[in-house]
Amino acid sequence: MQYQYHYEDRSDIRPPKKHNHVLAVIVAVVTVAGLCVASGLLGAAFQRKSQGRLIPTTSIVYQGTDTHPLKHYTENGELTVEGVAAVCAPSVVEIRTEEVVGGGFFQQYIEQGAGSGVIVSDNGYIVTNHHVVDGAEEIVVTISDGQQARATLVNSDAVTDIAVIKIEAEGLIPAVIYAGEDDGLRVGQTVVAIGNPLGSLGGSVTDGIISALERDVVVDGQKMKLMQTNAAINPGNSGGGLFNTHGELIGIVNAKKSGTDVEGLGFAIPIKTAWTVASDIMSYGYVKGRVDPDAISFNEIASNSLFGQKRGLYVVSAPGTPFETGDYIVTVDGQSIKTKKEWNALLSEKKAGEQVAVVVERKGVARELSYTLPEKKA
């Protein structure tokens, strides 16, 4: 792969002639006025209405050193791709993970992984993907200025593929969270993805458009409703940010469709979903209202056996529920359930506190039980 770099030719820039005092004064006045307008536009770009808890308490600060900030804006006052990169890149981090994996003959080895994350508070909270940090025993974060810090996992949610990690730091630059309505995002709208592709190219910026807003996509067996983009997404981008031309975080990158005949199919978790989950994790340590599918322990029989056991789920342990050890699950709300995966999928569509009708077979007799779905708090 070849990389092309563009260097801006500044050879035509010359200092003003010393003897032309009038011209110097005019240039100075115009420059100051231009910078004031730029400052006003920049302030307007990040002055957002606070709707609920979708805005971080710390505002983002422009970190660029460019003396000509107006070139970061289009004629309609939105940021260019260059402007989005300058404003948003400091909020995106690289993530490296290590996991101890068991090998053959009682051997173990270290498996390394890489991903991206987005800073959402100035004191070290970072949003990333569940699959980026799942199982990791060590998480190391590199922020945009090259500093590294070990992170701890606050909690993660496999259903939405969102995780929150925390580093001990102050004065970080959080992303501005998009707080608009869903109809404020449009198919065809320019977006910018910032992340750590291939685990070694941190701070990489790619641009594209929103290709679709609500795609039903199955990722690792989990059905999700995702935003589709044609911005280049590669391994390592997972957990990175998808930004609009106001410099706002509109999605958390989490998947790419790959194949020799596939191009430009990337996906991101919409920020409304991602931020709701992340906010709960930061506030409570878990996702409120999420059903705990593991409150009942099952033995899953893959096929009918010679000993009379039928394919399906058998209750092993279910304290505090109407189930008894040995109960065979027949249906849940009228739907046949044969695997733990099917059980989890059905419960993921419901909320804690809801009641479901479960038909079980107990000692050869069918019984209908009312089961109140418990909340997952860990």
For residue 86 the two structure tokens come to 């300058």
Exactly one of 121, 156, 211, 238 is catalytic; which is it? 238
Exactly one of 131, 144, 156, 246 is catalytic; which is it? 131
Cβ neighbours of 311 (radius 10 Å):
12
Exactly one of 157, 161, 207, 280 is catalytic; which is it? 161
- Which residues pair with residue 147 across a beta bridge? none
At residue 33, the 3 state secondary structure works out as helix
Number of H helices, E strands in the chain: 5, 19
**Any catalytic annotation for residue 161?**
yes
Nearest-angstrom CA–CA distance, 108 and 118: 32
Cβ neighbours of 84 (radius 10 Å):
25
N residues, the chain? 378
**Any catalytic annotation for residue 261?**
no
Q: Which of 241, 232, 186 is nearest to 211 (CA)?
A: 186
For residue 91 the two structure tokens come to 């909020």
For residue 209 the two structure tokens come to 């458009």
The residues annotated with a catalytic role in the active site are 131, 161, 238
